[in-house]
Amino acid sequence: MDLGLKGLKAVVTGGTKGIGRAIARTLAAEGAHVALCARNADEVAMTALEFSALGVKVFGGVTDVADGPGLAAFVSAAAEALGGIDIVVANVSALAVAGDEAAWQSGFAVDLMGTVRLVNAAMPHLERSAHGAIVTISSVSGREIDFAAGPYGAFKAAIIHYTHGLACQLAGKRIRANSVSPGNTYFPGGVWEQIEQGNPEFFKQALALNPTGRMGTPQEMANAAVFLASPAASFITGTNLLVDGALTKGVQF
């Protein structure tokens, strides 16, 4: 299937590691020009150089998505570098699972407002696109109560609600908005590798919850996100796509 991404311009936050990196790389491999950001300048530069070898324009920015003006400046620079924006993927999470006030503030600033501010900054460019698409990365923890109940789960649920609202509000402008809710995703340096090493008993319990007997990979999450971002998904908007290997038990109607 031709996803129709060649020549489109995409912005991905948190594009140097894990799911965000896989999304940015898959978009580039499909022929989309990509702007990505993260907080580590060396990782941004190395990732941008690597993805440039795929034959597309790649723009890297050093940005903390909790910094509203900084995020807006990155989006503006990305649009200038790429010649517009057709797709935005809001991927960054503070991974705030503690219950203290600082965790709630971090989750609000990064997960929720980082998503809202990205969309707001990109909206003038999306409105000029013939293929405007918004993809937000939520989580199964936004749909069911699990060990991440608290700020992480609450703000991931809010992202799903916010995104569905965007889909309804923007349909007349032909801008689509969808969420992807990954299940437990394992990759080197990721949170589940850290748990495997630091709390192997909990890791074993989490692994046993999945009927497939394994966790997902960043590429499996990226495949879903990139499809939803692409013109091939032209009549899909307002959905929340679970990519969890049947981890969640609630029936979706």
Task: Give the per-residue pLDDT at 213.
Answer: 95
Task: Give the per-residue pLDDT at 252.
Answer: 82
Supply φ then ψ for residue 192, to 5 degrees.
Answer: -75, -30
Q: Which of 138, 141, 179, 230 is catalytic?
A: 138
Torsion sign across C-alpha atoms 80, 82, 88, 91: negative
Q: Which of 139, 141, 179, 230 is catalytic?
A: 139
Task: Give the per-residue pLDDT at 253.
Answer: 79
**Quick check: is 179 catalytic?**
no
Q: Which two tokens stand for residue 17?
A: 């590691």
Q: Which two tokens stand for residue 65?
A: 């998505």
CA distances from 182 to 167, 215, 217, 225, 247 (A): 20, 10, 10, 10, 10
Q: Which amino acid is at 144?
A: E
**Quick check: is 162 catalytic?**
no
pTM above 0.95, yes or no: yes
- Chunked into runs of 10 residues, the chain (253 residues) has average pLDDT values of 97 98 98 98 98 98 98 98 98 94 98 98 98 98 89 97 98 98 96 94 93 97 98 98 95 83
Task: Give the per-residue pLDDT at 250.
Answer: 87
**Quick check: is 186 catalytic?**
no
Compute the distance between CA of residue 17 and CA of residue 171 in angstroms, rounded to an integer. Answer: 32
216 secondary structure, DSSP code: B
Q: Domain coordinates of the chain in residue numbers? A: 9-184+217-243
Q: Which of 129, 152, 162, 186 is catalytic?
A: 152
Task: Please give the CATH architecture assigned to the domain spanning 9-184+217-243.
Answer: 3-Layer(aba) Sandwich (3.40)
